[in-house]
Structure 1
Amino acid sequence: MSVPAPLTGVVPPVCTPLTPDGEVDTSSLVRLVDHLVTAGVDGLFVLGSTSEAAYLTDRQRVLVVDTVVRHVDGRLPVLAGAIDMTTPRVLDHARALADAGADAAVVTAPFYTRTHPAEIARHFELVAGGCGVPVFAYDIPASVHTKLGADLVLRLAGEGVLAGLKDSSGAEGAFRNVVLGKRAAPGLAGFSVLTGSEVTADAALAMGADGVVPGLGNVDPAGYVRLYRACREGDWARARAEQERLCDLFGMVAAGDPARMGGSSAALGAFKAALRLRGVIDCAATAEPQIPLSPAETERVAKHLSTADLL
């Protein structure tokens, strides 16, 4: 199906369930998709950071997209990350995901190499012109070490290069500049501005964001659907209460001991442990070389679920 312009609502970045030997568990992936669709989400984003795209082989990436697209069967738009270091490699990924049936490609700035803003603009122009599906910019400076400026994003949106922005920068002032720039330009009404924050989704929606892309939405998609609907109905007290409940639940990402694992291992391990505890996926394995949660750390995740009435 085509991507609505703008894309609105809750678009979870879908976890990639793995088997104990590190292969994609397609049966669990299908159940996870059903879990999200049943909760009322508005789209799916595969092969992002929460999907562990950086750890997957090219074969596994295509398998994820193909599995999700086939199972969704046009019920929701499927966005897929085409994330790699430089333009030719991103184009290869973007063309592969388009061939697999994804409705849009989500693309970061180039990384590893040092790039000028003019080169970043050229990167998005070349990808958008060569992949055959709409392109969403993925602003995630913690991973690619480049912050996409609001002026650049808005210019590329106005030129028809970008269909939307997924902002995981945490820079709320810069995010607001994009929202305000869109509002001031009638030609950008169809441009999608999405936040990747789990804990300030209500604030972003109050600013004027079109939707939310929360990793925690794998664990509690219904909570984010309720939050989004409360914001759209102008019931800010109900939205704040739901957001604060989700903030408490998000505390699960600190279950892993920082003395022995990185933040990504802890967060992704917590999401997968929660999904396994909820009976959605079969195995909580994360991709190598990430460090798995211990039984005691998994028990901390379970306590967060119990407090949120999700167990």
Structure 2
Amino acid sequence: MKLDHTATGVYAIAATPFHPDGRLDTVSVDRLTDFYLGCGVSGLTILGIMGEAPKLDPQESLAITRQVVKRAGVPVIVGVSAPGFAAMRSLARGAMDIGAQGVMIAPPPSLRTDDQIIGYYAQAVEAIGEDIPFVIQDYPLTLTVVMTPGVIQKIVNNHPSCVMLKHEDWPGLEKISRLRAAQKASEMRDISILCGNGGLFLDFEMERGADGAMTGYAFPDMLVDVVNFQQAGNREAAHDLFDAHLPLVRYEQQQGVGLAIRKYVLKKRGAIASDSQRKPAGSISERAKAEIDYLLSRVARYDKRAAFRT
């Protein structure tokens, strides 16, 4: 089955495990996949920014895709963003042939005008083929490309293969409301909206009409619980759990070291053997690790999943 507009829940943005010498850790790929599944995710998104995709060669990208798809048993979305459309097409077609359910496309930072953004996605769809479902990644904080709700509406309406928005604008709550209003008024096709930004605004994003989360916070099981609570109408439980994790969510959002923090916590949770990144890589100091351990101890007062021996 291919990805469609009904997707909901939590699609974890997966890290890519490496050995300390930079080699892919294929054993930890399985281990991490099992970890995400045990957290109750609805799907996985691999080869994204958090997955260090630009540091992989094409063969490695397809090998990871094949390994995750074979093991996951849930929908897998593959990040295929690339400087050129030839590489994008090759990875997109290859990933779908392996069994991925869809691909994610981020706009290049060079885009500035609305027409440039709309035109870029038209060319991307032409390159990969209209038969491949795709996700728009709207992440202006990192990508520096600002997509208005109107631009997103045009991309969605122009391309039936666009089935999901990965919403990572900040502030972005009003954007979600405007997009859902456009759907209600039949001004835009129905799409799934999953939210990123480390889950930093997930509590209210769900209340604005998001269908779930697509992010890499090291406690995807917390994200799953928050989404389930909100979908069940249990607002207080959702906010109570989210608030307990918020200091760690915030700490993870530091530019340049966020991935190092996430991998450190994932290692403590037993999801990966090493918190190594492939170079060039950011790092965290021993003092930072002590601060993370302290935050984990505070989260554990409410959520025992954060209780570790340090």
Q: Deviations over 1:9-41 (max 9, x none)?
A: 111111111111112212112111111111211
Q: Does 1:148 align with 2:147?
A: yes
Which residue of the partner structure matches residue 288 of structure 1?
A: 279
How far off is 1:211 after superposition?
1.4
In structure 2, stretches of 5+ residues that fail to align are 301-305
1:54 matched to 2:54: yes
Structure 1 residue 227: Cα displacement: 0.4
Asked if 2 retains the 8 angstrom alpha-carbon contact of 1:83 and 1:93, the reply is no
1:195-219 CA-partner distances (Å, limit 9, x unpaired):
1131210111100111111221xx2
Q: What is aligned with 2:248? A: 249
Q: Hey, what's the Cα distance between the residues in 1 that align with 2:51 and 2:251?
A: 18
Partner of 1:127: 124
Q: Distance in 1 between matches of 2:87 and 2:142?
A: 17
**1:146 offset after TM fit, Å?**
1.1
Q: 2:95 aligns with which of 86, 89, 97?
A: 97
Matched, 1:175 2:176: yes
Shift of 1:287: 2.3
SS of match in other structure, 2:275 = coil
Equivalent AA in structure 2 for residue 47 of structure 1: L
State the distance in 2 between where 1:7 and 1:114 align: 28
* Corresponding residue number in structure 1 for 2:303: none
Contact 1:86 1:110 in 2 (8 A): no
1:2 and 2:2 correspond: yes
Shift of 1:66: 1.5
Q: How does 1:208-219 map to 2 (within 5 A)?
A: 208-216=209-217, 219=218
Deviates more, 1:90-99 or 1:222-231: 90-99
Amino acid at match of 2:299: A
Cα distance 1:22–1:292, how it changes in 2: closer, same or farther (>3 A)? same
User: Hey, what does 2:156 align to over in structure 1?
Assistant: 157
Letter in 2 for 1:231: Q
Aligned-pair CA distance for 1:114: 4.3
Counterparts in 2 of 1:96 and 1:235: CA distance versus 1, 3 Å:
same
Instruction: Tell me by how many angstroms 1:158 deviates.
Output: 2.3
1:91 Cα shift? 2.4
For 2:220 and 2:112, how far apart are their aligned partners in 1? Answer: 37
The count of corresponding residues between Structure 1 and Structure 2 is 297
User: Does structure 2 retain, via aligned residues, the 8 Å contact 1:252–1:300?
Assistant: no
How far the C-alpha of 1:115 sits from its partner, in A, is 5.4
- In the TM superposition, residue 154 of structure 1 has moved relative to its aligned partner by 1.4
Matched residues in 2 for 1:162 and 1:67: separation? Answer: 26
Residues 1:304 and 1:86: Cα distance change in structure 2 (over 3 Å): same
Q: CA deviation at 1:187?
A: 6.6
Could you tell me how far apart the structure 1 residues matched to 2:111 and 2:231 are? Answer: 40
Greater mean alpha carbon deviation, residues 175-184 or residues 41-50: 175-184
Q: Which amino acid aligns with 1:23?
A: R
Task: Give the secondary structure class of the aligned counterpart of 1:11.
Answer: strand
The corresponding residue for 1:205 is: 206
Q: Tell me the secondary structure at the aligned position of residue 28 of structure 1.
A: helix
User: Are the equivalent residues in 2 in contact too, given 1:136–1:164 (CA < 8 A)?
Assistant: yes
Note the aligned Cα RMSD (angstroms): 2.1
**Deviation string for 1:74-107 (max 9, x for gaps)?**
x211011111234344323322322332111100
Could you tell me which residue of structure 2 aligns to residue 268 of structure 1? 259
1:247-306 per-residue CA deviation (whole Å, 9 max, x = no partner) reads 12224427xxxxxxxx44421011101111122111001221223223332232222223
- For the Cα contact (< 8 Å) 2:149–2:175, is it kept in 1? yes
Unaligned stretches of 5+ residues in structure 1: 255-262
Please say if 1:166 is aligned against 2:166.
yes
Percent identity over paired residues? 22
Structure 1 residue 180: Cα displacement: 2.1
Give the deviation of 1:177 after TM superposition.
1.9
